[in-house]
Amino acid sequence: MERRYILNAIDAALWAGKEILSIYDDPASDFQIERKADNSPLTIADRKAHETICHFLDETPFPLLSEEGKHLPYSERRAWDTLWIVDPLDGTKEFIKKNGEFTVNIALVHHSVPVMGVIYLPVKKELYFGLYELGAYKLSDITARDGLSWDELVAKAVRLPEVNMRERFVIVASRSHLTPETEDYIKEMKRSHAEVDLISSGSSIKICLVAEGKADVYPRFAPTMEWDTAAGHAIARAAGMEIYQAGREEPLLYNKENLLNPWFVVEAKHTEIK
């Protein structure tokens, strides 16, 4: 996959982050909360981020599937062998709580497999990005690409996963969706490992923590959609890891007829990098 497309995605994520922060940091803003059909909160920040991302990705030849966009029927989508899958603001609940744990997620999917991913944390100014053939990276304190090439970005970034000398087994779990099944999984891990730490976090940050090497596993036994995981999945794969369907040695797949993900586990299990 051509590197120029990930530069489009990085620009889109960074500019979307600026749009989100213009609302997030405005003390007069009430976030203009509305309700979607599934009763989850929606803010004007979602829509502005979506519009910004569309502006940048329209320069590429690939169609876009976004949480905030029009969802075309599978009879049309099934012909898309390559597409963008986007969540303009992942972690809307965290945004409303103002805890900073929300992200911009952009993935490029080829034949149902995520091959390129960008995740931006606007509050922390942290950028995760990865290409399956070229590795995964983290860049801190960034708000604009400033014309930097792929090679220049990589030179300023840290390659993932980072070497970690910790001895304790670390599980990362959802801050807002800790289900009984997840609690049972955590108990089982505590029986299997002498020392276990639990980290709670919001949005796709959880996948990034595994890709980064700060956590060993992220179990998700609660509903998610493809746009929640595609970018993180691409970054995890670029870091030599995988996201498996719970209880199966089969990875998550994308652009399905039903965009709901099965339960899954993100783990630091190395895969062959071709």
Report residue 122 as tokens.
Answer: 């606007």
pLDDT in tens, 135-191: 999 999 999 999 999 999 999 999 999 877 678 999 998 876 778 999 999 999 999
Dihedral Cα 93, 97, 98, 101, nearest 10 deg: -40
- What pLDDT, on a 0 to 100 scale, did the predictor assign at position 269? 59
Q: Burial, 202: exposed, middle or buried (Cβ in 10 Å; 0-12, 13-18, 19+)?
A: buried
* Residue 34 in this model has a pLDDT that exceeds 70: no
Per-residue pLDDT band for 39 (boundaries 50, 70, 90) equals low
Report residue 54 as tokens.
Answer: 């569309």
**Domains in the chain, please, with CATH?**
3-160 (3.30.540.10), 169-267 (3.40.190.80)
Q: Starting at the earlier edge strand, list the strands of the sheet with 158-160.
A: 64-66, 82-90, 103-110, 113-121, 126-131, 135-139, 158-160
CA distance 4 to 60: 9
DSSP 93-107: HHHHHT-S--EEEEE
Report residue 105 as tokens.
Answer: 């997620």
* Residue 242 in this model has a pLDDT that exceeds 90: yes
CA distances from 188 to 55, 131, 181, 184, 197 (A): 46, 34, 11, 6, 13
Give the up-direction half-sphere exposure of residue 119: CA atoms within 13 A in the CB hemisphere: 30
pLDDT in tens, 188-241: 999 999 899 999 998 999 999 999 999 999 999 999 999 999 999 999 999 999
Per-residue pLDDT band for 274 (boundaries 50, 70, 90) equals very low
Q: Which residues pair with 121 in a beta bridge?
A: 126
